């Protein structure tokens, strides 16, 4: 297993863009199309939930015997309740979640099959967050801390 920070030879992990990560996937993955789609889905999810702490140490390639290098499963997916809108990883030219249409266009630019559908799936999954929180017994005062998620769905 190796981090994207190492693969990008980055001095720190607060200086890159998601397209830089796409370049790593295309260079090292044994299934670059699938891993590019997974990376895109994770980028959209991070944007929609407001996970602004999306830095290089949260992205890894895993070596699977006989299969080569693959993008690791997503982890450390936490909304920033401090209302910081600026993401550590830029979405392309900007650090703020660009909104649905622009992130769909970015997916098309990356060559992601069905980019609009990916965005719709992520938004549909996230939009039910209040019911999920209620089902898990999350106190109402804590639910209120995450209300800005609705503005990105």
**Residues 134-150: tens digit of each pLDDT:** 999 999 999 999 998 99
Long-range contacts of 96-101 (CB under 8 A, 24+ apart): 97/47, 97/48, 97/50, 97/152, 98/47
**Residues 83-118: tens digit of each pLDDT:** 778 899 999 878 899 999 999 999 999 999 999 999
Contact 44, 117 (CB under 8 A): no
Give me the pLDDT at residue 15, please: 73
Dihedral over Cα of 61, 108, 49, 81: its sign = positive
pTM here is 0.93
**Residues 8-33: tens digit of each pLDDT:** 999 876 679 999 999 999 999 999 99
């Amino acid at each position: 297993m190796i981090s994207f920070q190492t693969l990008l030879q980055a001095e720190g992990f607060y200086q890159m863009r998601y397209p830089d990560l796409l370049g790593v996937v295309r260079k090292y993955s044994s299934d670059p199309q699938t891993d590019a789609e997974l990376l895109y889905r994770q980028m959209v999810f991070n944007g929609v939930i407001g996970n602004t702490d999306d830095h290089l140490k949260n992205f890894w390639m895993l070596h699977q015997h006989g299969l080569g290098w693959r993008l690791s499963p997503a982890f450390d997916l936490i909304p920033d309740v401090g209302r910081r809108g600026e993401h550590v990883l830029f979405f392309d030219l900007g650090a703020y979640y660009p909104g649905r249409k622009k992130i769909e266009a970015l997916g098309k630019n990356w060559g992601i099959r069905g980019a609009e559908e990916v965005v719709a799936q992520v938004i549909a999954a996230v939009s039910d967050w209040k019911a999920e929180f209620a089902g898990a017994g999350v106190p109402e005062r804590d639910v209120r801390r995450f209300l800005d998620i609705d503005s990105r769905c």
